[in-house]
A and B are shown apart, each in its own frame.
Chain A
């Protein structure tokens, strides 16, 4: 036997009470894991954003188009190294519920701007540039639908229609794009803007947004001001910002996720803190006499303090670790179905470490007052002799 055995046996001396507390903590950390996973998914874009990349959108909002003529004018701005553009397609495959994140892109420059994140083999890229009716699909999406190079797929749009009246664009897959890092979402389909622009029934010669790389992040401010000034007082004024700021603004559409996480987790934690703290205090109070006996046997005050704190931390860990594990399983189970809205949804090692730190903090906070009381307890009082 050692001190840990003593702590463990004390914790489980009332099995029902210990189990209920563990379940409460488990639920709190399960909520924490799931919400933190969502938060990570929505902010993954911000983290992955390159410092020298900027986005130019219509000043009204990013759903409003801009003339394609802006592309060449932005390219000429001093401090801009590379520019590309894209247009939202609003695609689906076979059934409207099978949403596809499809973009019509500028084929010659798009992959160059994203070369640090997306990898397309050179021969596949050349095939894409050559064939106006081709598409490059991300690895995740290709796996989801079992698509491979050479497959011809009908891509429907719930926004655009063809001049012929149809809503379907037939595309040939010529490339599979892989992410160069784990956080890169490859749940997308990219096809040629010229083909899209030629065939669509409205919105001709307009684009959704431009992605530009500056010669240095230090030039970002100046470049942004120059571009926005260039199109001031036009029918389509622009707003240029860093990719990170754009990602943040995009995520903000789903509400203030950080605040939601904070409020939900905070409420759960405060509730559990009170329940566990109160139960710990009650549990220690019930053992006043035994603590007095331990002190009589020679257990020092600090050793008793450590044992009580150990008990509350152990309790938090026994509830918290399975809670996070369940959250990780939930994330794994939902990852495919949430791939379109939260592709990076997962309980990452960082979240696990944050959770572990929270568990220890929860244990220490709930245990500190009972532990201090136990440490200070006079033996004569504890034994009812005082």
Chain B
């Protein structure tokens, strides 16, 4: 079932960028399947295409050729508007620099994705409280980003990513701006989300210690997976 219906399936994906008169091929007929409930760390040197792949999976960027399906849903042919709605319902993003709105409190930042739903204010508040409780910040609801540490801000970002209960979490260097202790706390939360709540996670990282929290590590180099291994 999992092998036939993976959470993510890339089939013959090609992606090129044009820089001036030069065309750079990032991927050429790339295939990939990520099963449901997997926690994949994606590593590789700069320019290997990790972030581009994350963008393609999140519907932020478009393929030049090939197919992308997430939860059996083809996204390569969706319009901008359809992609936005799809992202709101299916994808949770976690960024390296947290990207919280500075003028909003922790609770308001977490509530943002829920503004795109038809949930009532009370239901939204309950969900926000649950998401902040999962990341251990139920007591910081009224704090603004500047009043929190980097680790706390990233936990708010994780709460924002999971509040609409998406199928897939895409993390771009989620611990890249944190000290070791905070990074371990964040990675533990991701592990919890994967293990306890069954979220499928794709995490781009340069940090081997961070990759160790994943179930699988994919090494990407020059647009190709050069090695696939199970995490220790």
Interface residues of A (CB under 8 A from B): 1-3, 5-6, 9-10, 12-13, 289-290, 293-302, 379-380, 383, 385
Contacts and interface: CB of A to CB of B under 8 A. Distances in A.
B112 A385 contact: no
Nearest to B80: A301
Interface string B106-119: 00100111011000
Given A9-B104, A296-B58, A297-B113, 20 more contacts: A2-B115, A3-B115, A6-B115, A10-B103, A13-B103, A293-B99, A293-B101, A296-B93, A297-B87, A297-B116, A298-B87, A298-B88, A298-B89, A299-B116, A300-B80, A301-B84, A379-B55, A379-B60, A383-B95, A385-B55
Interface string B60-96: 1100000000000000000011001111110001010
Contacts of B99: 289-290, 293, 383
A385 B17 CA distance: 12
Nearest to B111: A1
Contacts of A9: 101, 103-104
Contacts of A299: 84, 88, 116
A385 B58 contact: no
A285 to B, nearest CB: 16
Contacts of B60: 296, 379-380, 383, 385
Contacts of A290: 99, 101
Contacts of A296: 58, 60, 87, 93
A133 to B, nearest CB: 75
Contact of B85 (A5, A13, A293, A300): A300
A5 B124 CA distance: 15
B182 interface: no
A290 B95 CA distance: 12
Top 8 nearest A-B pairs (CB, nearest first) are A298-B88, A13-B103, A300-B84, A293-B99, A9-B103, A379-B60, A298-B87, A297-B113
A208 to B, nearest CB: 67
Contacts of A12: 103
Contacts of A380: 55, 60-61
Contacts of A13: 102-103
A383 B98 CA distance: 11
B167 interface: no
Contacts of B103: 9-10, 12-13
Nearest to A300: B84
Nearest to B117: A298
Nearest to B105: A1
B51 interface: yes
Nearest to A301: B80
Contacts of A5: 108
Contacts of A297: 87-88, 93, 112-113, 116, 160
Interface in B99-141: 99, 101-104, 108, 111-113, 115-116
Contacts of B113: 297-298
Contacts of A293: 95, 99, 101
A200 B102 CA distance: 81
Given A3-B115, A296-B93, A301 B88 contact: no
Contacts of A294: 112
A2 B55 CA distance: 28
B75 to A, nearest CB: 13
A380 B56 CA distance: 10
Contacts of A301: 80-81, 84
A1 B108 contact: yes
Contacts of B81: 300-302
A73 B115 CA distance: 80
A383 B52 CA distance: 12
A12 B95 CA distance: 26
A127 B177 CA distance: 95
A298 B102 contact: no
A244 B33 CA distance: 83
5 contacts: A296-B60, A297-B93, A297-B160, A299-B84, A380-B55
A240 B146 CA distance: 76
Nearest to A296: B93
Given A2-B115, A380-B60, A385-B51, A298 B95 contact: no
Contacts of A295: 84
Nearest to B87: A298
B55 A298 contact: no
Contacts of B95: 293, 383
A289 B100 CA distance: 10
Contacts of A10: 103
A300 B58 CA distance: 15
Contacts of A298: 84-89, 113, 116
Nearest to A5: B108
Contacts of A2: 115
Contacts of B61: 380
A385 B56 CA distance: 12
Contacts of B108: 1, 5
A383 B60 CA distance: 10
